Amino acid sequence: MQVDPVQRDQAHLQDMLDSAKQAAGYVRGQTFEQFWDDAKTRDAVAMRLQAIGEAAGRVSPTTAAALPALPIHQMRGLRNRIAHTYNKVDFKEVWKVTQHDLKPLISELEKYFLQQSQRQAEAEQLRQKQGIRPPRPWDGPRMGM
């Protein structure tokens, strides 16, 4: 079964949002010194940033173009630096990302999903006004009956 490209992109964007929220939560209320002294938190944040970059790289060019506020290229680049040079990760840069980039990313993705939800609701209202109902599996041709 083939997956709808829009649904696939939405799944990747949702992965990005979930990982961004998790990473932000890991460092909430911490100072850089606390972050630096806690290897588990550093590793967890790096893993979430890596997941964001991986999902960003899987978003279609069409969807990426429709979301110009998302720095897809930079997210992918950070993912590559973490994945391929883990023993040399600059955790000062990782910290900066958590302090300056995650909040706008979360905001932009939440705004996108709110707009998608509103569009779906409007489309459903239009279908109801026009008396169009979504197809149901049992509405199609019946084989062998």
What does the pLDDT read at residue 138? 62
pLDDT of residue 56: 96
22's tokens: 């998790």
pLDDT for the residue 140 = 58
pTM: 0.82
Q: What is the pLDDT of residue 96?
A: 97
Residue 34 has what pLDDT?
98
Residue 46's φ and ψ, nearest 5 degrees, are -60, -40
pLDDT confidence of residue 39: 95
What 3 state SS string does the chain have?
Answer: CCCCHHHHHHHHHHHHHHHHHHHHHHHCCCCHHHHHHCHHHHHHHHHHHHHHHHHHHHCCHHHHHHCCCCCHHHHHHHHHHHHHCHHHCCHHHHHHHHHHHHHHHHHHHHHHHHHHHHHHHHHHHHHHHCCCCCCCHHHCCCCCC
Q: Report the pLDDT value the prediction gives residue 133, as an integer from 0 to 100.
A: 67
pLDDT of residue 43: 94
Q: What is the pLDDT of residue 122?
A: 84
Where in the chain are the domains? 5-129
- Tell me which residues of the chain have a pLDDT lower than 50: 145
